[in-house]
A = this chain, B = another copy of it.
């Protein structure tokens, strides 16, 4: 399912085939947690900004509107009118960051819904059944996302349990895929590596889960409080032990510079709420750095956000207009800003892939890493 097209150092150019089409990697997944992109972007907008694969959340959709409802509507693709690939995050991270009153046992996790406080139990099997009901193309394993910092003892025990959960996930997903009325019989399970910032735990866990020969592997539990340096170190440590013929997904990361560094360290899939969130705050990406639309200096500027950008926003609207929309608190401000930022992320990945295709990724990274972090 994963085909490696080119390599440059550890950076990889690949193709991942799913039941809803081929994903060109490295790829950024556009985040639609509740089956909708923030900033009022529709599925149609996603197509226009070059999104290859959308990411929704198992925890959120299980709570609302309910995975059985989505199943009855023909699955998530049909529900949100998106016929390209979808990855569903397992909700492990959300249960440990968003839900209240968690109680974790070998069997699973009991927690309170962040919406209405209702007590809910979720086992690895439940999580797989929910994702099978959603019918995503890639289902993420049910894991415990431990806080950083956490005591080594706790992390070790947690990793062992997450491994046992992964075996249960694999078995249940197999069972789900054999059901004649499965929503998406091509649904693929990705395992998630944990281990906080302890290299030996990360490695041991990665070796264990690699043996299960799953269609892909993620590095989870990062971007949750460690330094950027620690994050890069862990990617390097884990990457050596990840199967070379499977895609690697760095969960919840990150800035354009983080993505360049992730690609350089052998990562293929990324996702992050940052471009949409920054957009809503008026922070817009350009190929010269980040600009703040709330800044007075844009008030009379008839140029687009970025003169070199081909996105639907830059093709049509000026900085002056965008700044007006932000000051006037028009919802359109958020939509145009998010649309531009997501286009920018998708365009960044396209440029990374193009560079890899030409063997010029390292030059591209050297040229852009610093510029993209500028605040101008």
A interface residues with partner B (beta carbon < 8 Å): 34-44, 60, 64-65, 69, 72-74, 79-81, 299-300, 302, 312, 316-318, 320-321, 323-325, 327-328, 330-336
- Let me know if A331 and B73 touch, CB within 8 A: no
**Min CB distance, A82 to chain B, in Å?**
10
Give the number of copies in the complex.
Answer: 2
| CB-contact partner of A35 in B38, B65, B324, B335, under 8 A | B324
List chain B residues, Cβ under 8 A from A317. 42, 81
A219 to B41, CA, bound (A): 38
A36 vs B328: C-alpha distance when bound (angstroms): 9
Q: Given A64-B327, A327-B65, A334-B331, are A320 and B73 also a contact pair (CB < 8 Å)?
A: yes
Chain B minimum-CB-distance residue to A63: B328
> Could you tell me if B302 and A73 are in contact, using CB atoms closer than 8 angstroms?
yes
Nearest CB of B to A301, in Å: 9
**Pair B73/A300 contact, Cβ less than 8 Å:** yes
A316 x B40 contact (CB < 8 A):
no
Set of chain B residues within 8 Å of A40, measured between Cβ atoms: 39-40, 330-332, 334-335
Given contacts A328-B36, A331-B331, contact A316 B73 (CB under 8 A): no
| Chain B residues within an 8 Å CB radius of A302 | 73-74
Check if A332 sits within 8 Å of B73, measured CB to CB: no
Complex: A60 Cα to B328 Cα, angstroms: 9
Q: Which residues of B contact A73 (CB under 8 A)?
A: 300, 302, 318, 320-321
